[in-house]
Amino acid sequence: MKKSKKQNIMNIIKKYKMPLIALLVVIVSLVIGLIISFGFEKEKLAANNNNNEQKVVANTEEGVIKEETFQELQFTNISLISENGYSTFTADVTNMGQEDSNVSDVNIVLQDKDGNEVITLRGNIGTTLKPNETRTITAVTKGELKGVTTKVIAEY
């Protein structure tokens, strides 16, 4: 009796040998494909996480963040921040004079350690600034401003 069951199983295997081999190849291929696919997905997720990390760099060079006065306008709370491929210069501007200031724009010349101009940004103060009045100016440019060590506020 045992021999006939065994023989029946052997006959079934012989009869369906090719389809069984094909099925086995498909199953093994799917398993390998899934393993590879999960590996690539992990790498892709890791790469996306690295790209999504926001890299914020504040320029803390004394020559950049120091207070400065130009035509009775005092520039304080100065920052130069690089983030997501852009750099933003920000400063508070206070009219220290006794009369209204009609300076509406200034050049913000950013220089490297050798005094070479890296870029000149336009700081828009806007309309008339009354005595002791303070406004915040912001100038943005594309790119990270690496190597900037000093700034000069100049006439626009």
Tell me, what CATH number does 98's domain have?
A: 2.60.40
Q: Please state whether beta strands 134-142 and 150-155 pair in parallel, antiparallel, or not at all (unpaired).
A: unpaired
Q: Is the predicted pLDDT of residue 11 greater than 60, yes or no? A: yes
Please name which of 141, 142, 74, 78 lies closest in space to residue 103, comparing C-alpha atoms: 74
Q: What angle do CA 107, 105, 147 make, to 5 degrees?
A: 25
Q: Are residues 88 and 20 both part of a single domain?
A: no
On average, the pLDDT of the chain sits at 87
pLDDT, position 32: 85
The reply to whether 83 and 134 lie within a common domain is yes
62 in the same domain as 27: no
Question: Do 66 and 136 fall within a single domain?
Answer: yes
Same domain as 65, residue 19 = no
- Higher pLDDT: 39 or 127? It is 127
Which has more confidence, 112 or 32?
112
Identify whether residues 99 and 134 lie together within a single domain: yes
Residues 127 and 86 in one domain: yes
Is the same domain home to 89 and 22? no
Percent of the chain scoring above 70 in pLDDT = 88
- What pLDDT score does 1 carry? 52
What is the domain range of residue 33? 2-52
Number of domains, the chain: 2
pLDDT (tens digit per residue) in 48-85? 555 556 688 999 999 999 999 999 999 999 999 999 98
Same domain, yes or no, for 127 and 69?
yes
Confidence of residue 3 (pLDDT cuts 50, 70, 90): low
**pLDDT at res. 13:** 74
For position 49, what pLDDT does the model report?
56
- One-letter amino acid at 93 equals V
